[in-house]
Amino acid sequence: NEWVYTEKLKEHFMNPKNILQGEDTDAFDGVGMEGNLSCGDQMMVVIKVDPAKEVITDCQWKTYGCASAIASTSVLSEMVKGMTLDQAFDVSPKDVTKELGGLPDNKIHCSVLGDKALRAAINDYFERNGMQDRIRKEQARIVCQCMNVTDAEIEDAVLEGARTF
Ligand code: FES
């Protein structure tokens, strides 16, 4: 495993986009929190939604995560603005990694953090608006092509204390 970061990753790490200022999330329509079991880092993603079109008009975030988590979520927050809630829900860590021009293998799990928090924020929006039937469950996703592991497997492995990567 090499620790090679792309220029785009470095740029988003140095100048992250859409960072949530302060603690107040009242102005937002959906809030999602997610913890990364493999490293203990945390992420909050908040969204504003145009209710008529179900389009994300703003996406902000903050994290205690690492450089890869910061860059991934910065890119993600740019990508999902203008998407419908369903389109944004389907954005995968792989899409984000691709947008970054790649991530070191042992950092793939970091890109899952923002993506999960975003889906939690979308579900929070549905919940707040009495749209329980629209709430979508997390599905196990393949987050690492080379090792063919899903995010669920990573979490299981960490919970069992068996670090396999
Ligand atoms: Fe925790 Fe990357 S090591 S988010």
pLDDT in tens, 28-62: 999 999 988 778 889 999 999 999 999 999 999 99
For position 144, what pLDDT does the model report?
65
Q: Please check whether residue 78 lies inside any domain of the structure.
A: yes
Q: Which structural domain, as residue segments, surrounds residue 84?
A: 7-159
> Which residues have any ligand 1 atom within 6 Å of their CB?
36, 39, 41, 65-66, 68-69, 110, 113
From the alpha carbon of 43, which atom of ligand 1 is closest? 4
Number of domains in the chain: 1
Q: Please check whether residue 28 lies inside any domain of the structure.
A: yes
For position 37, what pLDDT does the model report?
76
Q: Please check whether residue 2 lies inside any domain of the structure.
A: no
Give the ipTM: 0.96
Tokens of 48: 């504003």
For position 165, what pLDDT does the model report?
41
DSSP designation for 59: E
Q: Please check whether residue 165 lies inside any domain of the structure.
A: no
Q: Please check whether residue 33 lies inside any domain of the structure.
A: yes
Q: Identify the CATH number of the domain in which residue 28 sits.
A: 3.90.1010.10
Amino acid at 20: L
Distance 103 CA to ligand 1 centre (A): 12
Q: Please check whether residue 73 lies inside any domain of the structure.
A: yes
pLDDT in tens, the chain (165 residues): 456 788 999 999 999 999 999 889 999 999 999 988 778 889 999 999 999 999 999 999 999 899 999 999 999 999 999 999 999 999 988 899 999 998 888 888 888 899 999 999 999 999 999 999 999 887 666 666 666 677 777 666 666 654 444
From the alpha carbon of 65, which atom of ligand 1 is closest? 4
Q: Please check whether residue 81 lies inside any domain of the structure.
A: yes
Q: Please check whether residue 164 lies inside any domain of the structure.
A: no
Find, among 64, 56, 160, 147, the residue nearest to 110 by Cα: 64
Other residues' Cβ atoms within 10 Å of the Cβ of residue 56: 26
Mutate to test the pocket of ligand 1, among 1, 100, 109 (most ligand atoms within 8 A of CB): 109
Cα 102 to its chain centre, rounded Å, is 16
For position 1, what pLDDT does the model report?
46
